[in-house]
A and B are shown apart, each in its own frame.
Chain A
């Protein structure tokens, strides 16, 4: 128990020391050239416009959600296709139910106007 603690402490200290050593080594060899541009938000030089607390259209969120749902569906479909032959009809029915549920969701979103951009 105590030995474990010693190991853990040694590991933590070793990790910290390695980090500091690497930074120190880096500071020896890297050029030192501070400039104002380096302090901007994007180092590529793009100047940000406005505040980051700006309002944006809530519809992005709905679209993203719909996209993610069907993205996940693909993730399930690929392993399903691989083992499909071994499992047979049960797998087909189960996937049909799964996709059916997702389609109801899509039909719902469509009908309720969630996919329309204009309000």
Chain B
């Protein structure tokens, strides 16, 4: 009699995150008065430990759970993105006005459960694991989006995210069922092999097309982006920051890995997804940027900007080369710091002002010069102006596009970056050149965690821009090790 043997050594970072989630719940139940702070420390320690362990096993290539859980340097690198994002989001959480102090236990554990789900999703080696990982991540995310129980907008965000998320999961599952029907296997490697053998070009295209639609919902690619602005605007700000990086990254990574597995099969069938992905990329960049221009709510503006950034990321995927994937990994790391950073400043301002309209940012430089300066760093970096990290990210993406002769994509990318400068400048202008409504307003109070988080994120946004070599090297060797194996 045989049973599935599990190599727990490969699952250590996931297990640490999961144990931290349970520990947070249990400590919350013990119910001492000071538990808010201890929960915060527990979450940070759990994520930090998982981060160290994931970084240590970074160059492992192995699989376990009968091949449903795959570990390779690329996946491990992406897990670092998830863990870092969750860590930074936790650091900046306490400043959120919408999250009640009384229910922090659930908040942290849901955040950890979601991180765990995304980690499993990134490592999935078969369709069932993809679906399980996705649901393990999505269900905590739905709750987190509606976490401010008393806030109408947050409830709206939660219910919208839930309905559209469930809808897209169903679409994804429908595509999966077709793939399984065509190939008789749920393993990605076997499907990749047998779609080439099947010779059913139209069916394969339909099945994968449906699958892609479900996945692009999660990635907030344009025809499927309509839930994003409302969800981000209503969710508590740290949660929106988490979504803006982690859920998009997860969808993108699944897509990258599946395209790598199915490459031979698609080649045999002469199916090419580059055209479709290019169109999606252009649409995403243009819609994200153009609609962003007219926004007056900063959170909504950042939501549209995050949509546009998915468009840039898709360019790397359209290139279809390992250099393209390098550029995506570089961009993800860079994007993580600037996006979570910008949302963190919004969190702080929103607590002091009770809202996150552009008007709330007026005269921020007078009140809290450091807060305004770090916001300026994040926004300029998001635009992609040279000394900062955002430039490095965009540089590699556009360089790959030009190398692969995807001139249209490169041109649209550069043009939309220029347009995006306009809306980022609106915030800069409000912070630096507009008079505050109340000139005597006190400086915006920030918690120590928020201060550390902002310093860390501005530091990395600057440092990765000035000296990107280690990041580029890491991305290159991760992708090379993965595709070489």
Contacts and interface: CB of A to CB of B under 8 A. Distances in A.
A83 B1 contact: yes
Interface stretch (B22-30, B91-99, B433-441): B22-30
Contacts of B31: 111
B2 to A, nearest CB: 10
A108 B3 contact: no
Contacts of B1: 83, 86-87
Contacts of B26: 104, 107
B268 to A, nearest CB: 21
A99 interface: no
A68 interface: no
Contacts of A81: none
A4 to B, nearest CB: 13
A111 B29 contact: yes
Interface in B1-44: 1, 3, 22, 25-26, 29, 31
Contact of B25 (A83, A86, A104): A104
A101 interface: yes
Interface string B376-408: 000000000000000000000000000000000
A107 B22 contact: no
Given A101-B22, A104-B22, A87 B3 contact: yes
Interface string A82-119: 01001100000000000001001001100110000000
Chain A interface bracket (under 10, 10 to 19, 20 to 34, 35 or more): under 10
Interface residues of B, number: 7
B112 to A, nearest CB: 14
Nearest to A85: B1
Contacts of A87: 1, 3
A100 B22 CA distance: 10
A58 to B, nearest CB: 14
A108 B27 CA distance: 10
A35 to B, nearest CB: 43
Where chain B touches its partner, the secondary structure class is helix
B3 to A, nearest CB: 6
A11 to B, nearest CB: 19
B293 to A, nearest CB: 43
A105 to B, nearest CB: 9
Interface in A18-51: none
Contacts of A86: 1, 3
Nearest to B26: A104
Interface string A44-62: 0000000000000000000
B365 to A, nearest CB: 44
Contacts of A83: 1, 3
Nearest to A83: B1
Contacts of A108: 25, 29
Contacts of A107: 26, 29
A31 B3 CA distance: 60
A104 B23 CA distance: 10
Contacts of A111: 29, 31
A25 B424 CA distance: 75
Nearest to B3: A87
Contacts of B29: 107-108, 111-112
Nearest to B30: A111
A101 B1 CA distance: 27
A101 B19 CA distance: 10
Interface string A63-95: 000000000000000000001001100000000
A86 to B, nearest CB: 5
A107 B31 CA distance: 13
B169 to A, nearest CB: 20
B305 to A, nearest CB: 38
A111 B35 CA distance: 15
A30 B29 CA distance: 64
A104 B29 CA distance: 10
A45 to B, nearest CB: 39
A96 to B, nearest CB: 14
A68 to B, nearest CB: 15
B17 to A, nearest CB: 14
9 contacts: A83-B3, A86-B1, A86-B3, A101-B22, A104-B25, A104-B26, A108-B25, A111-B29, A112-B29
Given A101-B22, A108-B25, 15 more contacts: A83-B1, A83-B3, A86-B1, A86-B3, A87-B1, A87-B3, A104-B22, A104-B25, A104-B26, A107-B26, A107-B29, A108-B29, A111-B29, A111-B31, A112-B29
Interface of B: 1, 3, 22, 25-26, 29, 31
5 cross-chain pairs, A with B, having the tightest CB-CB distances, nearest first: A86-B1, A111-B29, A87-B3, A108-B25, A104-B22
